[in-house]
Amino acid sequence: MRKVIYWVHTSVDGFVDGPNGEFDWPTMGPELSAYSEGLDQRVDTLLFGRPVWEMMVGFWPTAESITDDPHVAKFAPFWRSTPKIVFSNTYQGDEWTSQVISDNLAAEVGALKAAPGGDLLLTGGSALAGALAELGLIDEFHIAAHPVVLGGGKPLFARPNQRRGLRLVDTAALDGQVVVSHYRPA
């Protein structure tokens, strides 16, 4: 069965973006980029909630023309060529969207997990991750804690309704500043 892998950047005070929605604080050094690329090699489908999707689709289609960052140069072709599923009740999709899922989250994600193929990578966000975690549909959590205190924003998991235990699989300090913790459900 395919796994849903949640890959997210957070501040040390537990926010995935700043008080005004800013996402200008994560630093992708060579070790963190290599970690991210290792996750990419395991997956054949990318999953996004609508807010993260709007940020991604506004950057990755032409990312190499905006910056010469080595991580961008490696990830952009992967992003463009990999099927992308957006979860939204109102979004209709665009030329970069392979599928939109708008209802019956448990059944739809369950069907994706049961289908043949590589794992599924949920990148960033908080609402979709919170909903999938509540349903027990996230198999791995890869959380990159960056050395910044944002003082507000979206929490790592939006409004959890119940306590969920996680089991630490591994942790690594990357690029001398970012701590990545890999968890599985307990």
pLDDT value, residue 162: 80
- Predicted TM-score (pTM) of the model is 0.95
Is the pLDDT reported for residue 100 higher than 80?
yes
* DSSP-based three-state secondary structure for 42: coil
* 115-140 pLDDT per residue, tens: 999 999 999 999 999 999 999 999 99
pLDDT class for 164, splitting at 50, 70, 90?
A: confident
For the four alpha carbons of 177, 146, 124 and 186, in that order, the dihedral sign comes to positive
Q: Indicate the CATH number of 4-178 among 3.30.70.960, 3.40.50.720, 3.40.430.10, 2.60.120.10.
A: 3.40.430.10
> How many Å apart are CA 96 and CA 118, to the nearest integer?
20
> How do the residues of the chain divide into helix, strand and coil, expressed in percent and rounded to 5?
30, 30, 40
